[in-house]
Every structure is written in structure tokens, then in C-alpha cells.
Amino acid sequence: MKRLTFACSLLLASGTISLANGLFWVVGNRATGKCNIVTSNPVIYGDIWFGDGPYKSKDDAKLARSTIRACPVLTPDEQKAEDGAG
């Protein structure tokens, strides 16, 4: 019975961790004056002054970034570089 309980708790823990994979956050970086899309939950400290999310897809995060007033609009070159990197 103890083995079954341990196996179930291990399965539940690994399932919860895997749910965090594939999520995106929008963060504001004071040092660069830009908003970045990251794949880990941001720690709001120092140059990182806000975090918004999580979002289920990168496209959702891009849409959210475009609606945040503090985020500057990306130039076409920046958009192309971002699309090529992701």
C-alpha cells in the first residue's frame, strides 16, 4: 500500500511539473526598455519591473505584449529576428 501511495504521489508531482512546460510570460526590462517573452515564471526584482502571464502559446503572449502600454512597438527587423529565433 505504501508503494502505491508513493507511486501515485510521484505521478501527480511529475504531471504538475509538466503542466508548467510550454507557458510564456511577458516581462518588462528596465535596462533595455523593452518587453520580452520568456518561458519561465519571472522574478520581479531589479531591472525586471513587471511580469504578465502565463500564456499558453507564444502567439498569445505576443498579442498580450501588443496591448500593454508600457511595451514599445517592435520594429519590423525586431519582429523578423524574434520570429526566426522562436
What is the Cα–Cα distance from 86 to 71, expressed in whole angstroms? 19
User: Which residue in the block uniquely carries the three cell numbers 524574434?
Assistant: 82
Contact 63, 50 (CB under 8 A): no
Residue boundaries of the structural domains of the chain? 24-85
pLDDT at 63: 94
Contacts of 50 (CB under 8 A, 6+ apart): 27, 28, 44, 70
pLDDT at 83: 80
Q: Tens-digit pLDDT profile for the chain (86 aa)?
A: 555 454 545 555 444 444 457 999 999 999 999 999 999 999 989 999 999 999 999 999 999 999 999 899 888 888 888 887 65
pLDDT at 8: 47
pLDDT at 1: 59
pLDDT at 18: 44
Look at residue 28 and give its three-state secondary structure.
Answer: strand
